[in-house]
Structure 1
Amino acid sequence: MQTSRARLRRPLLLAAGAGATVAALAAGTVTSAFAATVFSDTFSDGDAAGWSKSGGTWAVADGAFSQSSTASELARQFAGQTSWTDYQVQARVRPTGFGSSSALVGLAARASSSTKMYRLALLGSGRAELQAVNGSQITSLGSATVGAATGTWYTLRIEASGSTIRGYVNGTQIGGGSNSLVGAGRIGLVTAYAAGSFDDVSVDSSVSTPTTPPTSTPPGSATPTPTGTTPPPASWPTPTASVKVDATIPVSGTFDGGMRRYYGIGDGGQSESQDPMFELAAGATLRNVIIGAPAGDGVHCEGDCTLLNVWWEDVGEDAATFRGGTTYTVDGGGARSASDKVFQHNGPGTVHIRNFRVESSGKLYRACGNCSTSYQRHVVMDNVTATGTKVLAGINTNWGDTARFSRITILNDPNRSTRICVKYQGVPKGSEPKEIGAGADGVNCLYSASDITYR
């Protein structure tokens, strides 16, 4: 695959009053260690160089690429190479106006012409649909109701591998199947009788072979979403600089840390009253960050969030807490030295953990068992490597929680003492949850022996 010019967002400034001291700043483009990224554009430089227009009224403003006319029958912007074959393209997409229930705002892959492509569309009817588009002939490869509310950001991803095409909205697969309409082509941003904004577009040449989902899927759970074929890196990244932080850094949109180490909040202990290092607003993305010690209560996600290539050198209270929203994604990176847990899930919905490394920790994931509000919670783990970790997931079966596992590698555990899935009885706030079992059961803890590898 030929590489296009990558343009990553400049790191956001720290919040006023943060008192940050930057030891050094690294120059140049930062590439995630866990993915073969061949194209990236966040539009933070104020232009749309590299994109070619076909219809519509387009402009770059406020760090996004927007099409403003709901009267345009079909508006498109294309980028990349016509020779691209197997890849995944992802972007944040925000509908801002629908002219009708059939109007759409979406993402395209393998566009061999302006009218022939695979398209993942958010429709004015509130549904998302994965489509094979050949002029006026449109074949649906699956759909789901997602809301598609105007003013809301959605993360769309299309994976194309051979004749297999899959579409995801906020990390959950909404369609997919075998289709041979087009084997190669560019990426695209598309609207039809709708206005919308696009941001954080990336293309990754690493696409895995699809896995066969289980025959029975509990309500509210999600099918694992493999996105890489190699384990997480064996070595930890070297920081490009160190940043002393004295107050929580609020993040909306995307914060790219350029692989700097951020440290300085809290005392490194287990107190839950510590402030977080980063607080992510709904729809925010934190990427290319190394979190040192002390780091207070780590990262707080106040809504749907994405953590890309984030590393925790020494987890204090928690690495990240998922508090609001319905879909949270941890892709790449790693965490070590969590005496209790790495990821705490307090809100509803599903946490996706993939391409991740965990070392010397208590639990990688825990669904809160005694929060003030009891939700049904789910976790999907894929391509995770664990060393010296007691439990991968703790869930509350009385609330219908589920944990799914695929491509899990356990290192240096000859006695196989690492527990994959531990079940608890969730209780009201103020009480302590009781452990009631462990192991695969086909209902709440979902995995087979072939999903776990010991080395």
Structure 2
Amino acid sequence: MSKKTLVGIGVVVAALSFGIRIGSHAADNHRLKESTVAAGQAVQWSFDREKAGSVPAGARTLSGSWSVRAEKDAPTQPQALCQTASARFPAIILSDRIFADVTVSARFKAISGSEDRAAGIIFRIQDENNFYILRANALEDNVNIYGYVAGSRQAIKEGSAKVPAGQWQELRVEVTGNDIRGYLNGKLVVEAKDDTFQAGKIGLWTKADSVTCFDDVEAIAQ
């Protein structure tokens, strides 16, 4: 077996050990240095091989309290990634990989929260103060697109949709050029155009006292 083949096998083994599933076109290793993901590559997180009580390997918490824990009804057993603290805007970056045009989907369960009960995907992340948000809110029954610019959240477009609390649902964002489309359970809810950010990292987000769990996150570069 060649040295090149052995190196390739090593990358695959490392990816599996961190709970990252190999997509149809590529595998991602969270510890790879920051680089742009080529069109057709898929990166997936199920969180099931991660250590309970920790953040996923390669992830970086921006705010809030994020950890992997057992969830009996998780779409992919046995674990999910949950945010349980109260903060202004809890957020976590999942990887250092850079995506431009991308589809990001995540299963989520909005468990509790009296001030807010939200779940969000953040994308085209530049740093902790600059990114886009697609947010579903179970108290307000809406799915909205926001820009988070210089640490200030700015509404871009709002969409109305029933967001039941306490059950798993799918949130998905498709971004192509300046076109951003937000889906809840496969249905297009909100769409807008914005030119603020062209590429960046991806992650997850909640708001205020939301206790929210996420599972089966997937990013596919377009």
TM bucket (normalised to shorter chain) is 0.7 to 0.9
Which stretches in structure 2 are left out of the alignment for 5+ residues?
1-11, 26-38, 71-78
Distance 1:163 1:6, change over 3 A: farther
8 A Cα contact 1:94 1:196, kept in partner: yes
Deviation of 1:139 after TM superposition, in Å, equals: 2.1
Q: Which of 190, 201, 206 lines up with 1:186 in the alignment?
A: 201
Which stretches in structure 1 are left out of the alignment for 5+ residues?
11-27, 207-455
Q: Which of 114, 117, 121 lines up with 1:107 in the alignment?
A: 121
Alignment of 1:245-256 (within 5 A): none
Once the two structures are superposed, residues 243-271 of structure 1 have per-residue CA deviations (whole angstroms, 9 ceiling, x without a partner) of xxxxxxxxxxxxxxxxxxxxxxxxxxxxx
Alignment of 1:97-246 (within 5 A): 97-101=112-116, 104-123=118-137, 124-134=139-149, 135-146=151-162, 148-193=163-208, 194-206=210-222
Once the two structures are superposed, residues 295-317 of structure 1 have per-residue CA deviations (whole angstroms, 9 ceiling, x without a partner) of xxxxxxxxxxxxxxxxxxxxxxx
Q: Using the alignment, how far apart are the partners of 1:162 and 1:68 within structure 2?
A: 34
Q: Using the alignment, how far apart are the partners of 1:8 and 1:149 within structure 2?
A: 34
Deviation of 1:150 after TM superposition, in Å, equals: 2.2
Tell me the secondary structure at the aligned position of residue 192 of structure 1.
coil
8 A Cα contact 1:142 1:175, kept in partner: yes
Q: Using the alignment, how far apart are the partners of 2:44 and 2:113 within structure 1?
A: 27
Q: Using the alignment, how far apart are the partners of 2:171 and 2:15 within structure 1?
A: 19
8 A Cα contact 1:6 1:38, kept in partner: no
8 A Cα contact 1:6 1:39, kept in partner: no
Distance 1:9 1:138, change over 3 A: same
Alignment of 1:277-296 (within 5 A): none
Deviation of 1:138 after TM superposition, in Å, equals: 1.1
Aligned-residue Cα RMSD (Å) equals: 2.8
8 A Cα contact 1:167 1:176, kept in partner: yes
In the alignment, what sits opposite 1:65? 81
Deviation of 1:166 after TM superposition, in Å, equals: 1.0
Matched, 1:42 2:58: no
In the alignment, what sits opposite 1:417? none
Q: Using the alignment, how far apart are the partners of 1:8 and 1:96 within structure 2?
A: 29
Q: Using the alignment, how far apart are the partners of 2:40 and 2:144 within structure 1?
A: 27
Which has the larger Rg? Answer: 1
In the alignment, what sits opposite 2:8? none
Distance 1:44 1:9, change over 3 A: farther
RCO higher in structure (CA 8 A, sep ≥6): 2
User: TM-score, length-normalised on structure 2?
Assistant: 0.73
Which has the larger share of helix?
Answer: 2
In the alignment, what sits opposite 2:109? 94
8 A Cα contact 2:136 2:171, kept in partner: no
Deviation of 1:152 after TM superposition, in Å, equals: 1.1
Once the two structures are superposed, residues 407-426 of structure 1 have per-residue CA deviations (whole angstroms, 9 ceiling, x without a partner) of xxxxxxxxxxxxxxxxxxxx
Distance 1:117 1:129, change over 3 A: same
Q: Which of 46, 58, 64 lines up with 1:56 in the alignment?
A: 64
Q: Using the alignment, how far apart are the partners of 1:8 and 1:88 within structure 2?
A: 24
Q: Which of 19, 22, 32 lines up with 2:24 in the alignment?
A: 32
Q: Using the alignment, how far apart are the partners of 1:107 and 1:163 within structure 2?
A: 17
Q: Using the alignment, how far apart are the partners of 1:130 and 1:37 within structure 2?
A: 25
Distance 1:137 1:55, change over 3 A: closer
Q: Using the alignment, how far apart are the partners of 2:42 and 2:17 within structure 1?
A: 12
8 A Cα contact 1:131 1:141, kept in partner: yes
8 A Cα contact 1:94 1:198, kept in partner: yes
Matched, 1:78 2:64: no
